[in-house]
Structure 1
C-alpha cells in the first residue's frame, strides 16, 4: 500500500456535515495548504504546511490574552450542526436563563425541525432556520442578532465556520479540534486578534470534576513542583465508525485513511495544559511521536462488514496507538495517547506528577506526601471538600452528558459573556491543544523526529494570567 496516496477523497460536498460527533468532532480537508489538491497527497501537504507555518507570522492586531467579553444581559446564540453533539448541547443552552437560541443551521431539515421544537418547548420564540445546503451557515453568521456561534459539525468544516463567524463579528466556540492545519491555526489566531472576537476550542474535559479538583490542588502546591502529566483519548470507536447510522456518512472513519498521528489530542492535552499553566507562564515547545501499525479497523471490518460494503475500498494508515511526548519551556513532559481502533476500556489517563506526589485517573487514585505513606494509594475523594471547584460545589448534580462536564462548559461560557469576564481559555489554547494533530503525523513519518510547536501567543506565554482556576464571580 502506498500510504502517501489518499484512496478515499472526501469533500464537504460529499458528506453532510451534520453528524457532529458524540464527544466532539474533527475536520481535516488536508493537513497542508493545498485544499482539494492537497487532500490527494496528505503527507506531502502536511510537510509543506508545517515548514511554512513553524515561524510566527507578524502580528496583525493585538493580543487576545486577558481580553474580556462585552458584558450583556442576554446572550443570543446561533447553532451550526444538529447531529449527535449539537442535538444534545442545544438542551444545555436552553436550560440557562438569559440565553436565547435565535438561529439554527443544518442541511437536514428533520434535524432543524426537531431543534426548533425544543426551542419553542423551552418558551422561546421559534428560531430562524438555515437548511439550504452546506453553505447556509454563512447566512446565519451574517445576522445582527447573534452574539455567539456554536459549531458542532464534522471536522473539515470547523475552520471555515470559525473564520466566517469572526469575520461577521461573532464570538465563536467550536467542537474539537478547531482546525487541522498549522496555517489554519495561525489564521484563526490572527483573525481573533484582528476582529477582537474570541475563538475557543470548547474542550468539555477541562470542566470534568476530577480535572478541576486536580487543577486547584496543583495550583495550591499539593503536588510540589510539577514535573510530568499525561492525557489521552483511548476510546474504542470501531462499532460507531462502521455504524451506518451513528455518523452521517463515513467521514469520521475516513480520516484514518489520511493521517498516522494523534487525530484527537484535545481531551487529554487540554486538562494537563491547564494544570501546568501552558500559555500562562509555560508553553509547549516540541512534540515527539511514535505510532503502532494500523491493523485494528481492517481486522474489525473483516469480522463485521459484508462483502461489497464501501468500507472495503478504504486503506487505513492511522496508527492504532499513537504515543507522543510534549516538552515544555520549563522542561516538563506531557505524554499524549490516542487509540480508537482497538478493544479497550475508555480512558483519558489524566495524570499529574510533581516533587510531592502524583495523581492518576481511571480509576482515580492519589499519592502525595505527607498525606500518604508506605507507597499505598490514597483516597482522592477526601480532597473534595477543600479542593472541588466552585462550579462543582454550586452545581452538584448538573444535567446533560459526559458526567456533567458539558453543562459546566456551557454554564461557565455563558456566565463569562453575561458578566463581561475573560473566558477560561482562548484562541491560543485552541491552537496549542490542536497542533499535535498535524505535528504528530509528521513526527511519526520522520521516525520520531521532534517537531517544533509554534508559540501562538507570540511571547505572551511568559506572563502569568488566570485561566481555568477561576474565582466565583460576585453577584
Structure 2
C-alpha cells in the first residue's frame, strides 16, 4: 500500500462519515462508491470531510529555529525506509550506492515489496535489514528503533504528515517525497515538531539538484541575471495513463485527489528551484499566492476512451483543474509563476525559467539570453555556460540513478551533510513554503482568484541571508 510519489485542503461540502483514508486507499471500488465528495470535500484524520484551518498569523514558536542547525556528525548514516513502491524501490538502490550509508530497516505493508528491498540490501553486501510489514501502522515500530539516524518516506501523500511527525518524535531526522503534508495545519505542526524535537524534516526535492537548475542557481547568485524579477516552475506531466493503471499506483490514491481538490497538487518541483534562485527563506520570502484553474475535463475524457463499463473509476467525479496557474509574490516584489497539469496531452515540462534586469533563462529546451553577450534578439546556447556548473556536478559528471542523476546527487549531498555534521541544504521551512500552494491554491480558486497569504514559517528568520543548495564544497 505504500506506493510512491505528494497535498491539499478541503472544500466545505461534507463527505460521508466513517470512511478512513486508509480504507479509501485499499479499494478503488469502495472509494468510488463511498467517497462521492461532490464539490470537493477532503478527508481528515477522523475520516470526515472538513475544512482545515489556514492560519494567517504564525503560531507561537514551540522551540528554537531550525535554520542553520547542523546535523550531529557521524561516520556512518543508518537509514530506515518507509514505502517501497515505485519510488522507494528505485531510491533504495541509490542509498545502497552511497559511501558509509547502511539501510538497517525497511517497511511496507505489502510484504513482497519489503522482502524485495531487504534482498537488495543483502545483495549489496550489507547485513539483512529488519523488515516491518505487519500492517499499515508497522512504520511506528521502525521509527522506535535505536539504530536509525534518518527515516526516508516514500508513501502515498495521505501518510506523509503522520509518518514525518512519528519519526521526529522518536528522535529521527526525516526526509519525505513531495509534498510535505496535505493541509496547512499539518504543515504548521511539522514545523513546530521539528523545532521542538530538534530534528530536521526535509522535503526531498530532487529537482533542486538538476544540472540545469544548479547551473542557473550559481549564475543567479553571481549576478549574471542582474536584479532578479521573475521566475516560473511547473509540473506539467501527462499522467493520465499511469493514474488509470492499477499496477503503477497501488490503488487509485493519486487519482482520487482529483476528486477532492481544485488547486495545484504538486507545486514543489517547480517552486523549489525558483525559490532557491531568489533566496526564498534566505533573504526574501513568499508572501502571497493567487491561483486560477481551468475546467476539469481531462481525466473524464481519458476514462471515456480507455476504461471499460463497470470500472470503479466511473463512480468518481473529478474537480481538479486540468491546468492551474498560480502567481506567488515575494517580499521583494518578485513574481513566481507555478503551473500544474497532469490531465491533458502535452510533453513533459517543469518550465524552469528565471528573468532579471540583464536577461533570462528558459528551459525545455534550455536557452539563455544575457546582456552584454546577447544583443541580437536571438537565444544563446546554454552549453556555453558549463563553467558555472555546481561542484557536485563537476565531481559527479555521470551520476547513477533516474531523473538524469539528480536523485543520486540529492542523496549524496544529504548523507554528506549528515556524515560531516553540516547544515542541510534545505530545512523544514523550505518544505513548508514549497508545499503551501497545495492548500492555498485550492482556496484561491474556490474564492475566484482571491489572494491567499503564505505564512512566515520562519518567524522572521527569512530576513537573514544564509547558504542553501548553492553550498560551498566542504573541506576534506
Task: Note whether the superposition's TM-score is higher than 0.5.
Answer: yes
Counterpart in 1 of 2:191? Answer: 189
Instruction: Please give the alpha-carbon distance, in whole angstroms, between the structure 1 residues aligned to 2:343 and 2:179.
Output: 19
Counterpart in 2 of 1:426? Answer: 427
Instruction: Please give the alpha-carbon distance, in whole angstroms, between the structure 2 residues aligned to 1:37 and 1:132.
Output: 22
Instruction: Please give the alpha-carbon distance, in whole angstroms, between the structure 2 residues aligned to 1:10 and 1:187.
Output: 21
Instruction: Please give the alpha-carbon distance, in whole angstroms, between the structure 1 residues aligned to 2:16 and 2:46.
Output: 13
SS of the residue corresponding to residue 23 of structure 2 reads coil
Instruction: Please give the alpha-carbon distance, in whole angstroms, between the structure 1 residues aligned to 2:62 and 2:236.
Output: 38
Cα deviations by residue, 1:22-42 (Å, 9 ceiling, x for unpaired): xxxxxxxx9879533543x5x
Counterpart in 2 of 1:258? Answer: 260
Cα offset, 1:124, TM superposition: 0.2
Equivalences for residues 261-340 of structure 1 within 5 A: 261-340=263-342
Counterpart in 1 of 2:456? Answer: 455
Instruction: Please give the alpha-carbon distance, in whole angstroms, between the structure 1 residues aligned to 2:192 and 2:71.
Output: 18
Counterpart in 1 of 2:45? Answer: 35
Counterpart in 2 of 1:156? Answer: 158
Cα deviations by residue, 1:164-202 (Å, 9 ceiling, x for unpaired): 000000000000001021111111111111100000000
Distance of aligned partners of 1:368 and 1:442 in 2 relative to their CA distance in 1, 3 Å threshold? same
Instruction: Answer whether contact 1:6 1:257 (CA < 8 A) is retained.
Output: no
1:389 aligns with 2:390: yes
Instruction: Please give the alpha-carbon distance, in whole angstroms, between the structure 2 residues aligned to 1:285 and 1:295.
Output: 31
Cα offset, 1:11, TM superposition: 1.1
Instruction: Answer whether contact 1:233 1:265 (CA < 8 A) is retained.
Output: yes
Counterpart in 2 of 1:21? Answer: none
SS of the residue corresponding to residue 249 of structure 1 reads coil
Counterpart in 2 of 1:134? Answer: 136
Structure 1 spans left out of the alignment, 5+ residues:
18-29
Counterpart in 2 of 1:363? Answer: 365
SS of the residue corresponding to residue 273 of structure 1 reads helix
Instruction: Please give the alpha-carbon distance, in whole angstroms, between the structure 1 residues aligned to 2:474 and 2:41.
Output: 41
Distance of aligned partners of 1:32 and 1:298 in 2 relative to their CA distance in 1, 3 Å threshold? closer
Instruction: Answer whether contact 1:7 1:314 (CA < 8 A) is retained.
Output: no
TM-score, normalised relative to structure 2: 0.93
Distance of aligned partners of 1:251 and 1:340 in 2 relative to their CA distance in 1, 3 Å threshold? same
Cα deviations by residue, 1:252-303 (Å, 9 ceiling, x for unpaired): 1000000000000000000000000000000000000000000000000000
Distance of aligned partners of 1:13 and 1:120 in 2 relative to their CA distance in 1, 3 Å threshold? same
Instruction: Answer whether contact 2:285 2:330 (CA < 8 A) is retained.
Output: yes
Q: After the TM superposition, which of the residue ranges 288-297 and 178-187 deviates more from structure 2? A: 178-187
Counterpart in 1 of 2:13? Answer: 4
Instruction: Please give the alpha-carbon distance, in whole angstroms, between the structure 2 residues aligned to 1:418 and 1:12.
Output: 36
Task: Give RMSD over aligned pairs.
Answer: 1.7
Cα offset, 1:4, TM superposition: 3.4
- Misfit runs of 4+, over 4 Å: 5-10, 30-34
Cα offset, 1:102, TM superposition: 0.2
Counterpart in 2 of 1:87? Answer: 89
SS of the residue corresponding to residue 13 of structure 1 reads helix
Cα deviations by residue, 1:189-217 (Å, 9 ceiling, x for unpaired): 11111100000000000000000000000
Task: Number of aligned residue pairs: give it.
Answer: 453
Cα deviations by residue, 1:430-455 (Å, 9 ceiling, x for unpaired): 00000000000000000000000000
SS of the residue corresponding to residue 4 of structure 1 reads coil
Equivalences for residues 145-224 of structure 1 within 5 A: 145-224=147-226
SS of the residue corresponding to residue 377 of structure 1 reads coil
SS of the residue corresponding to residue 71 of structure 2 reads coil
Cα offset, 1:7, TM superposition: 8.2
Instruction: Answer whether contact 1:16 1:134 (CA < 8 A) is retained.
Output: no
Cα offset, 1:244, TM superposition: 1.5
Instruction: Answer whether contact 2:288 2:452 (CA < 8 A) is retained.
Output: yes
